DNA sequence: CAGTATTTTTTCGAGGCTCGAAAAAATAGA
DNA sequence: TCTATTTTTTCGAGCCTCGAAAAAATACTG
């Protein structure tokens, strides 16, 4: 059962709320914060004065343009970029990238590397991640003491405690506790997140009007992934990152999937599946390890040109996605969908069959109202989500801590 | 964004927590409550003394048997049965029942009625519900002023605000705002809930060890329904009661479902589907309106006796349920499952194919650890859940109200 | 049976927090 | 320069929770 509210929780929670209001609004005045949080002006005044003194917020002569109004002008509050920094590490197929982000959310440094993740050993994989983080931390421009959090996103399944990668299509290795490893190595709290979940987090920040409380982000790539936000909360499984939309069953006993099972949505809609069908190979043909973006673009071009096996392959992908979404909508009610990843550029080929399939399912009654948006470039999205995730942690756990963490390293250096 | 915590919320929340602790534990002492809530002894003392004075809790010389210990004996706190009462109304196929439950959770009166729901008009349906409630409220043994809530459970889809039935298999009528109707008629707050969700609520109260934070209740009946608890919360759709497990797609374009679509899980696992397959009718055959329990028992008996079409029908039901659960487990991770309803008595016929199917899905890696429990009698479960739902409302909204509701009718009569 | 040990519950003062009202600050218009 | 207006801070009041100590209620002990 949930625990009672202690007296000191009050301040902590309201501090967190003020910080979060500032992060959302950018440069709100105290009055605006009072309005959005529902707290009184006096309380906001007290809390924000604390936060400014601690170096977490700064005053900035806000909205000079809007000072057409009479009366004392509003003073904008903004996040102090120097209050902390976080690292966002993204590990995907044959690619590793890291970005340093200041407390206000600006990227201050980054580095990218090509790897051969499929053939690397466990230790090589770990070493590369540790090394790229170390290089960033050794950057003389960066105050290492200010780095408060490392967030690592990976394609694949992570555990629900955000500690480890359990399984990933980018490597044959399994169960690597990246978060624990980085934490031990650098003494900085780390979390391990699923890439699609981070896409969803980023979409929420990018377009809060469209992606508010309930929406779905689907990654159309070599595999099929999903990030799901329900009732304003990232939806995760109880043991793992969950939301393995790509491995819902489309046709029992059907096409061979990369996961070794049969009939998964991915076995019809993943790049390898589209490629396999376009070449008219058997459904039992072993999934290929990778199909280049260029090759997929060529497939899509041919599909647009002539009504051949390529077009049929995309049609089947749409059908699988449609029935999958239909089953999903039976469980959670329809919501806006973002199609992310290289194959989202071919969504025109996928959409007709997808809509036709949804119309045959329980979600069909709403099928007109279901809207799709496409975003071909997943990497920036994942990195952005990762950064926001890490920053939210700093907001809540470090700058609005429970009694035990009152004197953290980070706070000291700012004061 | 969530709202700030005002100062007066504190007491309210902690009051609610104390009440809920008492409801869960039965007869806890103040010391026990302090332990489970994490609040100090002084706080618990203050709050419970308030609650006793207001007639919500009563002291009861607790645990006379356990008074073997030294020291001042613990005084048990329990819910005052007279503090309030709620009505639990359950409307299912051809059947209407109502129960009056006191604040401590004991049934004090009940009434049941057979109807012909499939042929009744909208007004007849509403009138029957209003009439049965009125008869209970006119009972001279009942203090009407103490009735604080009416909860109505129905098979079918309800809206997410718990106001209306949107669609139900028990009647051709749609969109009946039962909650609003009852509320207007009697001036008592009412809610409209989905039957399977109430099953899940009841299971949590009955066996909190097994059904704690994550579990699934599946109704195997004429149709297939589901109640889902995730992270300790009842899972509902954003617009409707959600969790329409029975209408996930098992085989695209497959057997004809009662909902008019094709290939739903229910079209293989609902009573009418089993009956249809056992008779070796076409998958396109119109679903029959009802199959009697006796007939289903006869089918099951034949299936156990000889390896004929009956056994095959149950096998197909198991397969559909298995693939459906497998897809569900891809999204939410495996969890304990309760199979409820008359067909749960035939679960021995269903289970082998079900497990075999799950093993072929993403949930398969855990298939050994997935445990099923059966409960053939859904009605008591639904009523129990309904009652607990209504009582929880009274606990939280009436006895631990926000500033506006401080002087409710109910409170006055108790004081 | 009186005295002691033990456990539960209440009492009481201290310390925090939020709130509303009033004051102070900062600007635009007259 | 003065006034109106809006934002922000200040200040006292009112709650709430907490810890420590006191009070209450029982079992053990000789």
Residue A194 domain-assigned (yes or no):
no
B115 and B220 fall within a common domain: no
**Is residue B411 over pLDDT 50?**
no
Claim to verify: residue B259 and residue B365 sit in the same structural domain? yes
DSSP-derived secondary structure letter, B191 = E
The pLDDT of residue A405 is above 60 = no
Contact status of B261 with chain A (Cβ, < 8 Å): yes
> Which bases of strand C have any atom within 7 Å of the beta carbon of a protein residue?
5-13, 15-22, 24-29
Give chain A positions within 8 Å (CB) of B364: 261
CATH number of domain containing A308: 3.30.420.40
Same domain, B93 and B178: yes
pLDDT of res. B62: 57
What is the sign, positive or negative, of the torsion defined by CA atoms of A248, A254, A258, A259? positive
Residue A407 has pLDDT above 60, yes or no: no
Where is A148: in which H helix or E strand?
strand A147-154
pLDDT single digits (tens) A151-196? 999 998 999 899 999 989 899 999 999 999 999 999 999 999 999 9
- DSSP tag of A363: G
- The CA radius of gyration of chain B, in Å to the nearest whole number, is 23
DSSP A152-193: EEESSEEBTTS--EEE-TT-S---B-HHHHHHHHHSS-EEEE
Cβ distance of B39 and A6 shorter than 8 Å: yes
Which domain-ending residue is among B18, B46, B79?
B79
Answer whether B4 sits within 8 Å of A13, measured CB to CB. yes
B220 and B318 part of one domain: yes
Residue A245 contacts residue A218 (beta carbons within 8 Å): yes
B129 CA, D2 C1': Å apart = 72
Query: Percentage of chain B surpassing pLDDT 70?
Result: 93
Question: What's the CATH number where A67 sits?
Answer: 1.10.10.10
Query: Is residue B194 assigned to a domain?
Result: no
Percent of chain B with pLDDT over 90: 79
A396 touches chain B (CB under 8 A): no
Task: Give the rounded distance of the alpha carbon of A84 from its chain centre.
Answer: 21
Read out DSSP for B113-154?
Answer: EE--TTT--HHHHHHHHHHHHHHHHT-TTS-GGGEEEEEEEE
pLDDT at res. B63: 54
Does residue A196 lie within any of the structural domains?
A: no
Contact A57, A77 (CB under 8 A): yes
Number of structural domains, chain A?
3
Of the candidates B1, B254, B156, the one whose C-alpha atom is nearest the C-alpha of residue A249 is: B254
Q: Is residue A324 domain-shared with residue A212, that is, in the same domain?
A: yes
Query: Do A282 and A368 have their domain in common?
Result: yes
Same structural domain, B170 and B266: no
Identify whether residues B341 and B307 lie together within a single domain. Answer: yes
Q: Which helix (H) or strand (E) holds B102?
A: strand B95-102
The confidence score (pLDDT) of residue B406 equals 38
Cα–Cα distance between A204 and A338 in angstroms, integer? 11
Cα end-to-end distance, chain B, whole Å: 38
Buried b or exposed e, range B136-152, using 16+ CB within 10 angstroms: bbeeeebeeebbbbbbb
DSSP string, B255-312: SBPTTS-BSBTHHHHSHHHHHHHHTT--TTSPPPS---HHHHHHHHHHHHHSSSHHHH
Residues B41 and B118 reside in one and the same domain: no
In a domain, A2, yes or no: no
Kindly state whether B298 is in contact with chain A, defined as any CB-CB distance less than 8 angstroms: no
Top-confidence residue, A336 or B363: A336
Q: Looking at the domain assignment, is residue B42 inside a domain?
A: yes
Contact A235, A337 (CB under 8 A): no
Bridge partners (DSSP) listed for residue B88? B99, B151
Residues B163, B67 share a domain: no
Q: Is the pLDDT of residue A406 over 50?
A: no
Pairing of strands B233-234, B224-230: antiparallel
Alpha helices in A207-308 (DSSP H): 266-269, 271-278, 293-305
Q: Is the pLDDT of residue A412 over 50?
A: no
Identify whether residues B56 and B91 lie together within a single domain: no
User: In this prediction, what percent of chain A has a pLDDT beyond 90?
Assistant: 79
Q: pLDDT tens digit string along B373-409?
A: 999 999 999 999 999 999 999 999 888 876 444 333 2
Q: Is B294 domain-assigned?
A: yes
- What digits encode the pLDDT tens for the residues A323-332? 999 999 999 9
Task: Please calculate the CA angle A223-A227-A231 and round it to the nearest 5 degrees.
Answer: 160
pLDDT tens digits, B191-203:
999 999 999 999 9
pLDDT score of A238: 79
Confidence of residue A2 (pLDDT cuts 50, 70, 90): low
Measure CB to CB from residue A244 to each of B240, B259, B330 and give the nearest one.
Answer: B330
Domain final residue, candidates A22, A47, A79: A79
Res B126 pLDDT > 60: yes
CB contact (8 A) between residue B333 and residue A242: yes
The owner of tokens 């329409």 is B244
Q: How far apart are CA B307 and CA B311, in angstroms?
A: 6
pLDDT tens digits, residue range B324-368?
999 999 999 889 999 999 999 999 999 999 999 999 987 777 766
A49 touches strand D (CB under 7 A): yes
Residue A349's nearest CA partner among A377, A308, A381 is A308
Tell how far CA A283 is from the center of its chain: 32
Band the pLDDT of B64: cuts 50, 70, 90. low
Average pLDDT of the segment spanning A9-29: 93
Query: CA angle B84-B89-B95, nearest 5°?
Result: 155
Nearest CA to CA, how far is B110 from chain A (Å)? 31
C1’ C30 / CA A42, Å: 33
Residues A287 and A345 in one domain: yes
Q: What is the pLDDT, as a whole number, of residue A282?
A: 96
Residue B197 in domain: no
Chain B contacts in chain A segment 31-60 (CB below 8 A): 36-39, 43
Mean pLDDT, all residues of chain A = 91
pLDDT of residue A64: 55
Q: Which of A31, A58, A79 is the last residue of a domain?
A: A79
Q: Lowest-pLDDT range, A19-33, A289-303, B51-65, B214-228?
A: B51-65
For position A66, what pLDDT does the model report?
Answer: 56
Residue pair A152/A393 in contact (Cβ under 8 Å)? The answer is no
Range of the domain at B50: 9-79
């Amino acid at each position: 059962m949930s625990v009672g509210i202690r007296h000191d929780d009050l301040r902590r929670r309201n501090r967190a709320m003020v910080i979060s209001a500032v992060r959302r609004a950018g440069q709100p005045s105290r009055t605006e914060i009072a309005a959005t949080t529902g707290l009184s002006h006096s309380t906001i005044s007290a809390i924000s004065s604390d936060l400014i003194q601690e170096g977490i917020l700064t005053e900035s002569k806000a909205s000079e343009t809007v000072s057409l109004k009479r009366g004392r002008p509003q003073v904008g509050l903004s996040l102090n970029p120097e209050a902390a920094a976080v690292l966002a590490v993204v590990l995907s197929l044959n690619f590793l990238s890291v970005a340093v982000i200041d407390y206000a959310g600006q990227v201050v440094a980054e580095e990218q590397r090509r790897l051969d993740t499929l053939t690397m050993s466990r230790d090589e994989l770990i070493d590369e991640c540790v090394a790229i983080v170390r290089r960033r931390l050794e950057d003389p421009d960066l105050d290492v003491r200010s780095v408060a959090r490392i967030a690592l996103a990976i394609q694949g399944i992570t555990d629900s405690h955000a500690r480890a990668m359990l399984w990933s299509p980018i490597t044959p290795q399994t169960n690597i506790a990246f978060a624990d490893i980085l934490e031990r190595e650098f003494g900085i709290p780390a979390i391990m997140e699923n890439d699609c979940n981070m896409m969803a987090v980023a979409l929420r920040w990018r377009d809060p009007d469209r992606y508010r409380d309930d929406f779905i982000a689907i990654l159309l790539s070599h595999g099929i992934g999903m990030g799901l936000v329900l009732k304003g909360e990232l939806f995760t499984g109880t043991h793992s990152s969950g939301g393995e939309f790509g491995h819902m069953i489309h046709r029992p006993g059907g096409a061979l999937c990369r996961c070794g099972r049969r009939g998964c949505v991915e076995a019809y809609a993943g790049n390898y599946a589209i490629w396999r069908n376009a070449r008219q190979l058997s459904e039992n043909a072993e999934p290929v390890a990778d199909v280049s973006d260029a090759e997929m673009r060529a497939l899509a071009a041919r599909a647009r040109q002539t009504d051949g096996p390529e077009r049929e392959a995309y049609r089947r992908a749409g059908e699988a996605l449609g029935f999958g979404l239909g089953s999903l909508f039976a469980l959670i009610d329809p919501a806006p969908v973002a199609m992310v990843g290289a194959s989202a550029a071919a969504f025109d080929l996928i959409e007709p069959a997808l809509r036709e399939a949804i119309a045959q399912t329980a979600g069909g009654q709403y099928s007109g109202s279901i809207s799709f948006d496409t975003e071909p470039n997943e990497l920036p999205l994942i990195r952005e989500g990762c950064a926001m995730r890490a920053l939210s942690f700093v907001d809540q756990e470090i700058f609005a801590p429970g009694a035990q963490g009152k004197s953290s390293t980070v706070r000291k250096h700012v004061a």
